[in-house]
Structure 1
Amino acid sequence: MVLGTMLFALVALMVPARAAEGGGPSEVTFIIQVLILVAAGRICGEIAQRLGQPAVMGQLIAGLILGPSVFGLLAPDWQRALFPTAPEQKAMLDAVSQLGILMLLLLTGMETDPSLIRRVGRAAASVSLTGIAIPFACGVAAGEMLPDAMLPHPEMRLVTSLFLGTALSISSVKIVAMVVREMNFLSRDIGQIIVTSAIIDDTLGWVVIAITFSLARHGTVDAWALGQAIVGTFVFLALSFTVGRVLVFRAIRWSNDHLEGEFPVISTILVIMAVMALATHLIGVHSVLGAFVAGVLVGQSPILARHVEEQLRGLIVALFMPVFFGLAGLGADLTILSNPYLLGLTAALVLIASIGKFGGAFLGGALGGLDRRESLALAFGMNARGSTEVIVATIGLQMGALSHDLFTMIVAMAVLTTMVMPPTLRWALARIPLSEDEERRIAREAFAATGFVPNLERLLVTVDGSANGKLASRLAGLVSAFRGMPVTVLDLRPASPAAEPAEARKRPAEAEIVETSAEGRSAAPTMAMKRSGRRGRKQT
């Protein structure tokens, strides 16, 4: 009721104002659009969460309500006044949406835990390969059978088919992880396999999107351009997770320790994201891959404190998510489903997507050594498309690979599969008994979590050359190597040789502050003392 009243008042003010200014681009209109999308996304997101659904679905539904599907059907003049179709006005909101895609991929990468892949790699790899290959093949086949009237460019049918296959094959890791965490299954084997499979899905999906984008830029299958894109993508990934990983860690650490302004680490993270997004753009693939990889590297940084991550997450969740998903909902027109033919095509798309993903994940679970109940839970969990699907569809629409009708059908499919997933996954997980090994491991992890060490983010160790000082240094080294935690070592030995005991004058060290990080995890856990001209800086 509050949102409706606010919407009525704002539109009532905008209609005469836009008439007076001749319908040109308006900053006032842009501010009101952002205000409405953020407020509507927050309200609908809260309602969705209270109904057991992810908040992102509420934000997408808010956009559907504000778009031609509901508001435009009931009051078309007012809807056009609030969201005019003039290119100059749309460009202002589209710019925020474009930045929102990169920020969302940054956040998705930061929430990706590569260590899970090493823990349950065999079963998760089996699930991901079959869970991607089967629905991808179904989507490509469906794209090849679509009538020409459904395609934006019939001569680029292959690109449309690839986008459709990708959209049908990727699971939303955010929504999958949300339900698994809510059910307290993150410590269970099946929970880790489900989340890890979604991580692999997401990663492979963005690589496929990057290559498809390169293909779409040339319009036809150019073997040289396609090979260049594939080689460039894998070279970028190889450099990112070797040299790039070290550079990202050092950049975050340097900005935290040397810059005096507010939020220096967040500024550094945004610069890293932009540089890597531009790098992927320069090699001919989509910038979303660079943003996603940047998020993965940033999320692994040992110096990324919890409050810094929460500050960045707050900006993305509060502003960019409701604007982006609201705008995606605005771009979908569900009134086309009043056409029985398009309604039938949408139902067929949902059926193909669900059967392909469910069957592929179930088969992968069986091949990976899971029993029937675990494979069933895995199949239900991997069927959620959600935010990832909408991002893929939005990129396809912007590139001209998808028509508005196909975009609407994919958004409808994403909403339906995502809303079905939480209750079905909860039902399936509740039927899986706890094994003895899992029970012992969960009890051990719960006991360890209550200790002091797991809550540490950074160590400050003072040493003075005594036996106690050496012991403290070695203990700090062990904790740092085990937890991947940065350490600051403060050497309290006197700087003047005359003030030192005779037996200590042989040591060449002087009073100093030495910082180490977990980048050299494989090194011996003893803290090395070396000369440093600077003194303590602020710590995260």
Structure 2
Amino acid sequence: MESPANHTELLIATVLVDIALVLAVGTLLGRWVRRLRQPAVIGEILAGIALGPSLLGLLPGNPTAWLFPAEARPFLSTVAQIGLALFMFLIGWEFNPSLLRSHRGTAAAVSIGSIAVSFGMGVALATLLYHRHDTVGVDHVGFTVFALFLGVAMSITAFPVLARILAEKRLTGTRVGGIALISAAIDDVLAWCLLAVVTAIATASGPLDLVRMLVLLGVFLVVLRTVVRPFLVFMTRRHVTVHLLVAVVALVFLAAYATTWIGLHAIFGAFCVGLAMPREPAAELCEQVRRPLEHVSVVLLPVFFIVTGLGVDVGGLTTGNLLELAAIVVIACVGKLTGAIVPAVFLGMSWRDAGILGILVNTRGLTELVVLSVGLQLGVLDRQMFTMMVLMALVTTALAGPLIRSARAQTTRHPEPDPAPATRPVTR
């Protein structure tokens, strides 16, 4: 008879094997999609889906069930949440207010336009999809929460993936690249704020509970501004050492706990600490804090992909779901492209540059998966809706590379002068 101690040790060993498998498959698929000139995150997301019920689970004996047993999944989720918290901190830290000094008028118009149109079209789409996805398990989902969440999910732009695409396509120093980067940064902040509101509405048991959450959130932000931010500034002014890295990670986890206790998701606390993090001295902070955290995130985030992939079941989609998926992809693309292209052209950009800008801000990637995982945990999305939204994130991210190459090739064959003057490269 197996002792409880041996059972626990075997379970932990299983989790370690699962993580090793996820890292191996994610690396292989990441390298494969790079050969197809796609971001590595596409391969990592595909790895999570492939190891789940959509592919591996279809084989005889259901290998997914014994490779990722139900007892091991809470441990995998914990590891995934650690990686996700550190990733969200880095996302908040990536938002550099100095970016707003250049192109701020055009970038703000593009950002607000793309969010507003995408959000509105998402809410409109929700009215058509709601009656088919208004129940998760045995719980009924309110239309307001469902519609608001779908609007937010349609509004997302993946800042990290976008930054990497700009670097790979050598667009970082161009006007369109600079505007796209600033717009994505503004998008991120606005989208997380909207998601925080939706989360508060979804988790509040009534108006009084919602007021309580908003008050506690206000207290949290005040403490962040008056205590945490000065402490981080003090630490960076002394000398950037490994002690700062330890302090930052501790603060990220404490903030994640605080926002969870308030009733929001843990990612909001981590993101807010990133916003409060000083940006100078840039070189020392990059060497001692950013790079170590990025390395840890690279190792832990693939676990988040498998946890996400276990909730994706492509084989469970019906013919009606496929029609819904087509509508979701079309609405997602039209909303972002229209919301970005129209204000960009109105403010003086050429149609081709505006088109490239629209394609760039239509990139959703990993950031969309973070939002969708929140919706799944809140019980706003059922499995079919979650699967379709994950596929939409994959499609919109994968489209960016080919569409940009096509647009730039047309520009080369038929050059069109840009009336706006060139600007200095934008730094991140």
Aligned to 1:65: 50
Aligned to 2:277: 298
Aligned to 1:11: none
* Deviation by residue 1:471-520 (Cα, 9 ceiling, x = unmatched): xxxxxxxxxxxxxxxxxxxxxxxxxxxxxxxxxxxxxxxxxxxxxxxxxx
The alignment status of 1:373 with 2:356, answered yes or no, reads: no
Give the 5 Å matches for 1:348-367: 348-367=327-346
Distance between the aligned counterparts of 2:158 and 2:68, measured in 1? 29
Distance between the aligned counterparts of 2:149 and 2:176, measured in 1? 30
Q: 1:328 offset after TM fit, Å?
A: 1.2
The alignment status of 1:215 with 2:201, answered yes or no, reads: yes
1:229·1:284 contact (CA, 8 Å) conserved in 2?
Answer: yes
Gaps of 5+ in 1: 1-16, 258-262, 450-540
Distance between the aligned counterparts of 1:398 and 1:264, measured in 2? 34
Distance 1:70 1:233, change over 3 A: same
Bigger mean CA offset, 182-191 vs 378-387? 182-191
* Deviation by residue 1:71-113 (Cα, 9 ceiling, x = unmatched): 11123432211012x3x32211111122222111112223222
Specify which of 93, 102, 111 is matched with residue 119 of structure 1: 102
The alignment status of 1:189 with 2:175, answered yes or no, reads: yes
1:198·1:382 contact (CA, 8 Å) conserved in 2?
Answer: yes
Q: Secondary structure of 2:88's match?
A: helix
Distance between the aligned counterparts of 2:141 and 2:177, measured in 1? 43
Q: 1:434 offset after TM fit, Å?
A: 7.9
Aligned to 1:516: none
Specify which of 287, 300, 319 is matched with residue 340 of structure 1: 319
2:312·2:383 contact (CA, 8 Å) conserved in 1?
Answer: yes
* Deviation by residue 1:50-90 (Cα, 9 ceiling, x = unmatched): 22111111111011111111111123432211012x3x322
Distance 1:229 1:22, change over 3 A: closer
Aligned to 1:32: 17
The structure with more helix, counted as a fraction of residues:
2
Q: Secondary structure of 1:216's match?
A: helix
Distance 1:327 1:242, change over 3 A: same
Distance between the aligned counterparts of 1:23 and 1:288, measured in 2? 29
Percent identity, please: 33
Specify which of 292, 307, 320 is matched with residue 327 of structure 1: 307
Distance 1:434 1:305, change over 3 A: farther
Distance 1:429 1:239, change over 3 A: farther
Aligned to 1:476: none
Q: 1:415 offset after TM fit, Å?
A: 0.5
Q: 1:437 offset after TM fit, Å?
A: 8.2
Q: 1:299 offset after TM fit, Å?
A: 5.8
* Deviation by residue 1:400-440 (Cα, 9 ceiling, x = unmatched): 11111111011010011110012212433563768698668
* Deviation by residue 1:236-282 (Cα, 9 ceiling, x = unmatched): 5576457643322213444736xxxxx32221220221233334334
Q: Which entry has the higher C-alpha Rg, 1 or 2?
A: 1
Aligned to 2:296: 315
Aligned to 2:376: 397
Aligned to 2:248: 269
1:25·1:89 contact (CA, 8 Å) conserved in 2?
Answer: no
Aligned to 1:95: 78
Q: Secondary structure of 2:344's match?
A: helix
Q: 1:178 offset after TM fit, Å?
A: 1.1
Q: Secondary structure of 2:310's match?
A: helix
Which structure has more relative contact order (CA 8 Å, sep 6+)? It is 2
* Deviation by residue 1:364-406 (Cα, 9 ceiling, x = unmatched): 3234442322221111111111111111001110111111111
Distance between the aligned counterparts of 2:8 and 2:259, measured in 1? 38
Amino acid at match of 1:205: A
Q: Secondary structure of 1:332's match?
A: coil
Aligned to 2:403: 424
Aligned to 1:104: 87
Distance between the aligned counterparts of 1:238 and 1:428, measured in 2? 46
Amino acid at match of 1:321: L
Distance 1:269 1:368, change over 3 A: farther
Distance 1:301 1:325, change over 3 A: farther
Give the TM-score of the pair, scaled to structure 2. Answer: 0.88
Give the TM-score of the pair, scaled to structure 1. Answer: 0.70
The CA RMSD measured in Å over matched residues stands at 2.8
